[in-house]
Amino acid sequence: MTQKIGLFGYGVVARGFHHALNNNPHLNAMIKTICIKTANKTRSIDANLFTTDEKLILEDPEIDIVIELIDDAEVAYQLVKTALQKGKSVISANKKMIAEHINEVAEWHHQYEATFLYEGAVAGSIPILQNLNQFFGNQEISSVRGILNGSTNYILTEMRESNLSFDEALKLAQEKGFAESDPTLDISGLDAMYKLIILAYHAFGICITDHSQIRLESITNMEDQFYELATAQGLKIKSIATAYRKNGQIKLKVQPELVNSEDELFTVENENNAIVVDADLSGKQLYYGKGAGSLPTGAAVIHDLALLLDGFRYNKSKGGNKLKKSA
C-alpha cells in the first residue's frame, strides 16, 4: 500500500526532497497535499497539490506521513506536535524548533507510536543522527566536534584564501546563496548551537534547555590581525561546535578555534560540514559532506523517509528513561 505524504512548505529544501522522491520510484510513498503560505506563486508542479489550509493535511485520514520543511520554528512546532498526536509519523529539518523544544522532543520519541525523524536538521547530507543511534548506540562517546555551519565556514575560507575582509566574504557568501540576507543566525553561532544541542541529545542523552550553559562566541569577535597571524603560522581559524565529557558532565561550546594540519577539521573548506565522533571502542571517526542546500538536505529528508518506511525510529535508550535532563 502506497503511503501518502502531506508536505508543509515548498521552499529550497522541500523542492530538493520533491526532486529526490521523483528519482526514487522504489519508495512506496507519494505526495498527496502540499501546504504553503502563499497561494498565488507560480510553481512548476501540479497546482492541485497545493493548499493554504493545514487541516487538509492534519485531518486527512489518508495521509500517513507529514514532512515539515518550513522556516517558522513555532508554527513548525505546532504542526509537528499535532501530527504526532493524530498518529501521523513526521519528518522535519527544523533545527531551531527541535533544539528549542528538545525536552519535549525527547518525550515524543517514547510517548507516541508515530515516528519522528529529523536527520536534515543537522549537517545537511551527513547521516550523523542515524549513526549516533545505530553504530554508536552501544559505545561511550567522549566527544562530538565539528564544523556545523556552512555559511561561516565559507566566509572563513574566503577570508583566508582570497584575502577578503569579513564584510567582503560575507557579501560573497550572500551572493552565492550560502548566507541569508540577514546572516545573524549563522555568524553569531546560534545556527551551530541549535545543531549541537540536537547532537548532544543523541550522543549523550542529555537535553540542554538553558542556553547560558553553552559557551557561544561569534566569528565577528575576532580581530583581523588574528586571521593574519594564523595564516603566517600555517594555522587556520575555524568556527567549531563541540560537546564533550568533562568531570562527569557534558559541556557544550561553539567558538572560533585555531587548528593545525593534524586536526581532522583542517581541510574542511567552503560550505562543507564535518563531524568527528570520538568513542571508546571505535576511536575517532570523521563524517564529511555538504552541510546545506536543496539537494544535500533533500537527500537527508529522503533518507529519513526510507528509514521511516523500513520501521526505523531513534533509540529510546538515548532519549527515553535514561535521559538526563538539564534545566
CA distance 261 to 239: 16
Say whether 120 sits in a helix, a strand or coil. helix
Under 8 Å CB-to-CB from 63, ≥6 apart: which residues? Answer: 4, 5, 6, 32, 33, 57, 88
321 to 63, 106, 134: CA distances (angstroms): 31, 10, 18
Q: Please check whether residue 142 is in contact with residue 280, taking contact to mean a CB–CB distance below 8 angstroms.
A: yes
Comparing CA positions, the residue from 177, 148, 144, 322 lying closest to residue 238 is 148
CA distance 265 to 286: 9
Please give the single-letter amino acid code of residue 211. Answer: H
Instruction: Give me 42's grid cell.
Output: 507560480
Say whether 98 sits in a helix, a strand or coil. helix
Cβ-based neighbour number of residue 35 at 10 Å? 23
CA distance 84 to 58: 10
Say whether 101 sits in a helix, a strand or coil. coil
Q: Please check whether residue 6 is in contact with residue 32, taking contact to mean a CB–CB distance below 8 angstroms.
A: yes
Residue with cell 497539490: 49
Catalytic positions are: 195
Regarding beta strands 63-68 and 3-8, do their DSSP bridges make them parallel or antiparallel, or are they unpaired? Answer: parallel
Of the CA atoms within 13 Å of residue 231, those in its CB half-sphere come to 13
